[in-house]
Structures are given as structure tokens and as C-alpha cells.
């Protein structure tokens, strides 16, 4: 009988791969976005910072910060879903990812609903891939601050998937 | 509240400052804002292309500025914004957004915007959005 993989090894592989993916997006670092992982489920976290303010009188997060946060959350979720199978099957390792970063999906369009003022505190977002084909994908993102059920923004975006030849699955 | 000064409008926004946005032109209901290429704004290091989120931030700021410059406007906030990404912007080149507030109602302002790099014939992205619109209150003495 095959022994299950030690839990530390599983966590190390997944966390390293996620850090490598997020670390490869300079703009995500610039805004300060990080990701928390439970199994394959990701939550994007945007810690509050004064530089993220758009309206200093209210004060409120800049609409552009919110749009950026949601778009980063969508791209990372989509990439993560794309890489997960490769990673778990052993066809891709975090180390090989670091050396040869898989190409990321490209945004075709992105529509943001600003439901409430973004308060000067931490924000969270979770994205759901509603459809992911060989060429196109549709992703929905929800963002909240204090209450999970009181969204302050949501967005839907369409993405062009990287060509299969450039996917790690295209390699032996 | 009096008609706001559009120049201070930009410099008063910490995040617009963080992205190095510059107000190039402003007139009634129209605005032009630019943003230099910066390695920190890159979305995919393999290509050096600016992240869509940074372009969204530029479009949103420019749309807001167009609304604020509309005669009688006081404050505004984005209700929704749709961005279409036509092509990757060229790494190293400045991106300039132009926004027009083409219609306002009692409560809503409608905005269209385009963004381009050095090749001004081929937009990098276009956007359309709805913003809240508040009028200057008529004061009777």
C-alpha cells in the first residue's frame, strides 16, 4: 500500500508554489496583496495602507486600488487553478516554476461593481472560476471588509488563457 | 462646497500620487492623465507589461477627474467601471488616459475613456463607467 505524503511536504510544495506565483507579479507586491490558502482555496488579503487612499476626506480606498485588488485576485485564482493539477501530479515543482515561470492569463475585459465605500481597513477577496476552457475563462470575484456577506465590491472578468505549448503540461 | 480645483484633486489622492499620475489637461467634463512606466507596476515580468489593475486605476482616476470638472459637480464616486484591454502596452512607454463625461443626470454621470501609449492611433484599453453625480447646491440669500 502506498503511504500518504507527509503533511509538511504537501504544505511546503503548495505554499512555495503559491508564493512563487504571487511573488512573480511586481504590481501585487507594490500594492501589498498577499494570499492565504486552505487546501486549494485562496483568499486574497489587502492590508490597509495610507497610500491606498483615494478620497482623503472620507477617507476611502481608491477605486483603482479596489479594481487592482480584484483583478490580481482573479488572475492568481485562475493561474492557481491552472497550476494545481500539474503541481499535485508532480509534473510541476515550485523550483521549476521559479526558474521558468508559466505564462499568466491575459485580461480581455474586467467589470467592477463598487457596492460600498472601501473603508480604511484590511480587505479580502475570493475569486471563482465560472468557466475555464482551452482559450477563454470567465472569473467572478467578491470582496469584503468586516462582514463576508456585505460585499464592498465585486467584479467579473474574461481572460485569454496562455497557449498550451507554453503550459507546463505541454512539456514532458 | 465650491467648485474643486482639479489640480489639487489629483495631488490630494494618495494612490494617484503612488502611481505617479500627472494631470495633463482638464476642461469642462474632460480630463487627460498620464502615468509613466515603472517596473513596480508590471503584471507579468516575462513581458514587462504594466498590470491591468494599474491601467484600471488610471482610467478610474481620469473618469473621476472628468466628472469633477463637469460644470456644477461637487463630489463623485465610481458606481461601475468596465475596462476592455485591446492590446498589451509597450514596456517603457508612458500611458495616457483621456476621459469624457458625456452625459449627466440629476444623480449619475456617464463616462467613456481610452488609454494609449506612444502609439496614440491604437488604444491599449477603453473603458466606460457610471459615476455618482452631486450638484452644487443653489444658495439663496
Strands B30-35 and B22-27: antiparallel
CATH number for the domain that contains residue B122: 3.10.129.10
Å between B106 CA and nearest CA of chain A: 20
In a domain, A1, yes or no: no
Does any domain span residue B138?
Answer: no
Q: How many domains does chain B have?
A: 1
- Residue A106 CA to residue B43 CA, distance in Å, equals 10
Residue A23 resides in a domain: yes
Average pLDDT over residues B19-42: 96
For the question of whether the overall pTM of this predicted structure is more than 0.90, the answer is: yes
- Domain assignment present for residue A136? The answer is yes
Reported ipTM: the value is 0.91
Question: B84, A108: Cβ pair inside 8 Å?
Answer: yes
- For residue A170, pLDDT over 60 is answered with no
Question: pLDDT tens across B105-128, in order?
Answer: 999 999 999 999 999 999 999 999
CATH label of the domain that carries residue A163: 3.10.129.10
Expressed as residue numbers, the domain containing B50 is: 6-132
| Average pLDDT rounded to a whole number, residues A35-55 | 96
Helices (H) and strands (E) in chain B — how many of each?
3, 8
Is residue A68 domain-resident? yes
Q: Is B77 on the interface with A (CB under 8 A)?
A: yes
Cis peptide before A59 (omega within 30 of 0): yes
The pLDDT of residue B140 is 56
Chain A CB within 8 Å of residue B18 CB: yes
The yes-or-no verdict on residue A172 having pLDDT over 50 is: no
Is A26 in contact with B60 (Cβ distance < 8 A)?
no
> Would B79 be classed as within a structural domain?
yes
Half-sphere exposure of B5 (CA within 13 A, CB side): 4
Span A7-33, average pLDDT: 95
Say if B141 falls within a structural domain: no
Amino acid at each position: 500500500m502506498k503511504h500518504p505524503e507527509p503533511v509538511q511536504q504537501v504544505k511546503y510544495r503548495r505554499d512555495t508554489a503559491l508564493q512563487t506565483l504571487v511573488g512573480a507579479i511586481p504590481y501585487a507586491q507594490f500594492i501589498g496583496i498577499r494570499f492565504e490558502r486552505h487546501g486549494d482555496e485562496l483568499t486574497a488579503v489587502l492590508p490597509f495602507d495610507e497610500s491606498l487612499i483615494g478620497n482623503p476626506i472620507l477617507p476611502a480606498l481608491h477605486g483603482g486600488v479596489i479594481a487592482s485588488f480584484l483583478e490580481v485576485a482573479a488572475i492568481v485564482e485562475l493561474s492557481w487553478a491552472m497550476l494545481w493539477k500539474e503541481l499535485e501530479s508532480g509534473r510541476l515543482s515550485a523550483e521549476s516554476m521559479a526558474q521558468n515561470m508559466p505564462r499568466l492569463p491575459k485580461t480581455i475585459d474586467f467589470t467592477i461593481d463598487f457596492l460600498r465605500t472601501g473603508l480604511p481597513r484590511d480587505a479580502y477577496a475570493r475569486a471563482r472560476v465560472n468557466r475555464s476552457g482551452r482559450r477563454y475563462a470567465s472569473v467572478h470575484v467578491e470582496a469584503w471588509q468586516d462582514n463576508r456577506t456585505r460585499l464592498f465590491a465585486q467584479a467579473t472578468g474574461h481572460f485569454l488563457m496562455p497557449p498550451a505549448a507554453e503550459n507546463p503540461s505541454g512539456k514532458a | 462646497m465650491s467648485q474643486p480645483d482639479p489640480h489639487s484633486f489629483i495631488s490630494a489622492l494618495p494612490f494617484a500620487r503612488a502611481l505617479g499620475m500627472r494631470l495633463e489637461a482638464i476642461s469642462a467634463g474632460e480630463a487627460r492623465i498620464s502615468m509613466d512606466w515603472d517596473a513596480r507596476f508590471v503584471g507579468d515580468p516575462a513581458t514587462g507589461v504594466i498590470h491591468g489593475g494599474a491601467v484600471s486605476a488610471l482610467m478610474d482616476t481620469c473618469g473621476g477627474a472628468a466628472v469633477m470638472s463637469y460644470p456644477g459637480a461637487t463630489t463623485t464616486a465610481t458606481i461601475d467601471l468596465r475596462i476592455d484591454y485591446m492590446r498589451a502596452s509597450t514596456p517603457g512607454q508612458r500611458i495616457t488616459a483621456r476621459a469624457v463625461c458625456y452625459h449627466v443626470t440629476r444623480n449619475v454621470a456617464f463616462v467613456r475613456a481610452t488609454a494609449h501609449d506612444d502609439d496614440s492611433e491604437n488604444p491599449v484599453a477603453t473603458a466606460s463607467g457610471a459615476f455618482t453625480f452631486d450638484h452644487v447646491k443653489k444658495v439663496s440669500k
